[in-house]
Structure 1
Amino acid sequence: MLVAAVAVGWQLHRYPGGWKYAFGNEHDAARRDLQTARGALRGLERTAQKELSGARAAVEAATASHRRRVRDAELHVAHLREPGRGGYRAELGPLALYEYVLDVQTDEWRADLPLHEIAVRAEHSPTAGHVYLVGPDGRQHLMTYPVAEVGEEQVRTFVVDVHNAIAGAKAFQRERPSLLRQAEADLRRVRTDTTEQTKARLHLDAVTARQSGDTRIPQARQALDAAHDRWHALTGSRPS
């Protein structure tokens, strides 16, 4: 009943003047005349709004894409300038291996050691594994791992991981200057490459200009005003 009441109220609102004008069969043609004028205007407005919204969305998407590309290029340059630790790889007691550094955390020594400046080797005795670490200053440090706590295979595996990471870090350091130059050039290019934004804005300008000169919507509004006039002349009430 509520739905029916709402439907009746909506019909009376759309076709004001009384029940017979809103529902009577004798006024079908007048209602169709008004509905046709309304539908024509709304269809044109809906199509124009959809086209304009699409063009604006394309500008926003192109702008956002450019920002992302610039941000990604900036992050790449920043990484090459200051690589930091890099990704985590493995750890063994007080030693934590990262992509570019070996983090040491003992009671006597706390430091991030650049991998390309250190060396490491392992030795074993029946009771313990020994990791010899040569720091950037050339001094050698000994880390001892009792076999009862850390197995020989675990120590050897960690030292192999460190060896491989050192090789990777040294290669990265050799290549870093050229990689940085390329990354900075890419950043400059990305910052100045606004081709997609320009195309999107030109398309938006073209759509806006074409719609501004399109006479179909003003004509449809005039046609709807004329339909309102005819309905008012028939019923004494003017549709909103």
Structure 2
Amino acid sequence: MSVLWWMLLIVLAAGGVIGWHCYHYPGSWRHTFGAEHDGARRDLDTARGALRRLESSRRKEVSGAQAGVDAAAATRRRRIREIEQRIADLREPGRGTLREELGPLSLYQHVLEVRTDDERSDLPLHGISVRSDHSADAGHVYVVDPGGRQHLLTYPAAETAEDRLRRFVVDVHNAIADAKALQVRNASRIRDAEADLENARSDTSKQTRAQERLDETTARWQDDPRIPKARKELEAAHDRWQALTGRRPR
């Protein structure tokens, strides 16, 4: 950076300092900077500082109490959302992990995916039934969906061994049994979670306590005589400065 730039920065900084002093201590150059008026300037600074510290304390306390209210409300909302998500997951657990596949059938932890030329369906295991039969040329799997519709899947014997097909159907049967048992357990869990949700929605105790603290803090500062007193003292300091200089500080 060149000397010219440094000189410009110094001039700007000095101008900023002078401007700040002229704004805070309006009047002649002697009033703003003269040593003989140090006491008058300290008088202003003392009154300004006293009011500023009190107002800063008030802002911090009221802001902290308001943050407590906001935090309590956010905690309650988060708890409600978590319980609602838990209930949703219990009711609709999704596919789960893939266990095995056999052609157009894919067995997942919670559903049996059936793919045909016309559609693809995720059938919840707890609501379906499955059976198979075999001929010399092919094996057949019949899946009854929760609505009662049947799906027929045919596996040519040359492509799928009969024992492979039978093992797959047995695995589906066992997965259906597991899914039905899980449904029973989940029904109980859902009832418990719904009770938790009702409690979470009705429990506003933390918010109430936080709001009471905010109200108490706000009321205490409204009744506190120190800020009005500090404002009067600052006005008196302004009066003294105006009487001295003919200019009133802001």
Aligned to 2:232: 222
**Residue equivalent to 2:212:** 202
Q: Scaled by the length of structure 1, what TM-score is found?
A: 0.78
Q: 3-state DSSP class of the match of 2:122?
A: strand
The one of 173, 193, 215 equivalent to 1:183 is 193
CA 1:37–1:176: 2 relative to 1, 3 Å: same
Equivalent of 2:97, from 89, 102, 112?
A: 89
Q: What displacement does 1:209 show?
A: 1.2
User: What is the letter of the counterpart of residue 114 of structure 2?
Assistant: V
Q: How far off is 1:167 after superposition? A: 5.2
Q: Once the 2 structures are TM-superposed, how far is the Cα of residue 20 of structure 1 from its aligned partner?
A: 1.3
After superposition, give the CA deviation of every residue in 1:132-179 in whole Å (9 maximum; x if it has no partner): 56445696854659999x9xxxx9xx9898677545423321212212
Q: For residues 94-144 of structure 1, what are the alpha-carbon distances to aligned partners after superposition, in whole Å with 9 as ceiling and x for unaligned?
A: 4444442122122156322221334589xxxxxxxx895644569685465
Q: Is the CA contact 1:86–1:98 (under 8 Å) kept in the aligned structure 2?
A: no
Deviates most, 4-13 or 170-179: 170-179
Q: Secondary structure at the match of 2:121?
A: strand
Which residue of 1 is the match for residue 135 of structure 2?
none
Check conservation: 1:113, 1:135, Cα contact below 8 A.
Answer: no
Match of 1:74 among 76, 84, 97: 84
TM-score by structure 2 length?
Answer: 0.76
Tell me what 2:19 maps to: 9
Q: Between the two proteins, what is the percent identity of the paired residues?
A: 52
Q: Secondary structure at the match of 1:102?
A: strand
Greater shift in the superposed pair: 223-232 or 111-120? 111-120
SS of residue in 1 equivalent to 2:97 = strand
Partner of 2:4: none
Q: Could you tell me how far apart the structure 1 residues matched to 2:82 and 2:216 are?
A: 32
In structure 2, do the counterparts of structure 1 residues 236 and 108 end up closer, same or farther at CA, with 3 Å as the change threshold?
A: closer
How many residue pairs get aligned? The number is 227
Aligned counterpart, 1:46:
56
Counterparts of 1:1-240 in structure 2, within 5 Å, are: 1-80=11-90, 82-83=91-92, 86-90=94-98, 92=101, 94-107=104-117, 110-116=120-126, 117-118=128-129, 134-136=143-145, 141-142=152-153, 144=155, 166=176, 168-240=178-250
Q: Distance in 2 between matches of 1:22 and 1:173?
A: 83
Kindly state the Cα deviation for residue 88 of structure 1 after the two structures are TM-superposed. 4.3
- Structure 2 residues without counterparts, runs of 5 or longer: 1-10, 133-138
Contact map agreement 2:96 2:110 (CA 8 A) in 1: no
Change over 3 Å in CA distance of 1:131–1:27 after alignment to 2: farther
Asked whether the 8 Å contact 1:120–1:162 carries over to 2, the reply is no
State the Cα RMSD in Å.
3.5
- What amino acid is the match of 2:115? Q
User: In 2, are the aligned partners of 1:133 and 1:140 still within 8 Å (CA)?
Assistant: yes
Question: Within 2, Cα distance between the matches of 1:207 and 1:147?
Answer: 83
Q: Report the CA distance shift for 1:175/1:54 in structure 2 as closer, same or farther (over 3 A).
A: same
